[in-house]
């Protein structure tokens, strides 16, 4: 092997090694912030549990814990969720800082816009779940036991897990426009396909709404309507960005 060729391969190996070190360092930064945020979350875990319980108590729920460690486990669960939410912007920044050096200006703008609007839509999903859907679902579910003589003593673990699941589901559902934009920009999804498959998507949306909500028409419609709006908004947004891209 010639000296110049060997030197070229060594440079390539050093470049890969540098990238791996940078990736390791950025993952390390994320883990450090996540652990620090976890301790902060543990400090506020009691307040978060109390906030969730007060929401249920408004509708005459009474809560119990079945195992001695159940309440403690929920403290750690909420602390972890709190830490992930608090650290998420830092994680996004680390991804941004790692990927953007090799990007063009237009790609950087698209990448940054995707992150920012992804956060906004996730927050809107959580807000919709917390302010509209969850209160309605809690009232509906407790009303089912009215007149039956059955008293609702709900496990703290089951109740908080239920709330966290609903929050996560709607944070993900509200990312539909962002995911659609990414897929169309990558050429994986076409706006024409979204328009053509609208009637099948509507059926799918109502099916999903029926699965994740209580078995009543009102809550299913309340869930399906924002999903339908998000789908139509996704079509409009992807169509607009497609025209701008080709202009």
Q: pLDDT digit string (tens) for 10-29?
A: 444 446 778 788 888 889 99
136-174 pLDDT per residue, tens:
888 888 887 776 677 777 899 989 998 998 898 899 889
Q: Which of 40-49, 51-60, 159-168, 207-216 has the lowest mean pLDDT?
A: 207-216
User: DSSP code of 132?
Assistant: I
CA distances from 46 to 40, 42, 159, 186 (A): 11, 8, 15, 44
Nearest to 109 by CA among 247, 246, 245, 5: 245
Banded pLDDT at 246 (limits 50, 70, 90):
low
- Residue range 125-139: mean pLDDT, rounded: 89
Structure confidence at residue 127 (pLDDT)? 93
Q: Reply yes or no on whether the pLDDT at 38 is more than 90.
A: yes
Structure confidence at residue 212 (pLDDT)? 76
Could you list the beta-strand ranges (E) of 79-204: 153-155
- Residue range 50-66: mean pLDDT, rounded: 88
């Amino acid at each position: 092997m010639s000296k110049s060729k060997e030197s070229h391969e060594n440079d390539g190996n050093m470049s890969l090694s540098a990238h791996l070190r940078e990736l390791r360092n950025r993952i390390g930064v994320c883990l450090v912030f996540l652990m620090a945020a976890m301790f902060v979350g543990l400090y506020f875990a009691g307040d978060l549990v109390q906030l969730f319980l007060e929401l249920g108590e408004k509708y005459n729920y009474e809560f119990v814990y079945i195992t001695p460690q159940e309440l403690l486990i929920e403290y750690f669960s909420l602390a972890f969720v709190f830490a992930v939410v608090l650290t998420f912007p830092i994680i996004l920044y680390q991804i941004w800082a790692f990927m953007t050096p090799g990007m063009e200006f237009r790609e950087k703008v698209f990448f940054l816009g995707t992150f920012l609007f992804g956060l906004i839509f996730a927050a809107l999903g959580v807000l919709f779940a917390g302010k509209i859907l969850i209160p309605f679902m809690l009232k509906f579910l407790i009303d089912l036991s009215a007149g039956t003589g059955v008293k609702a003593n709900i496990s703290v673990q089951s109740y908080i897990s239920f709330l966290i699941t609903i929050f996560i589901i709607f944070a993900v559902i509200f990312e539909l426009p962002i995911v659609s934009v990414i897929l169309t920009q990558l050429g994986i999804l076409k706006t024409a396909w979204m328009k053509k498959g609208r009637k099948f998507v509507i059926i799918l949306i109502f099916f999903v709404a029926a699965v994740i909500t209580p078995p009543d028409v009102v809550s299913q419609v309340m869930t399906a309507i924002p999903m339908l709006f998000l789908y139509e908004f996704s079509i409009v947004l992807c169509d607009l960005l497609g025209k701008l891209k080709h202009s």
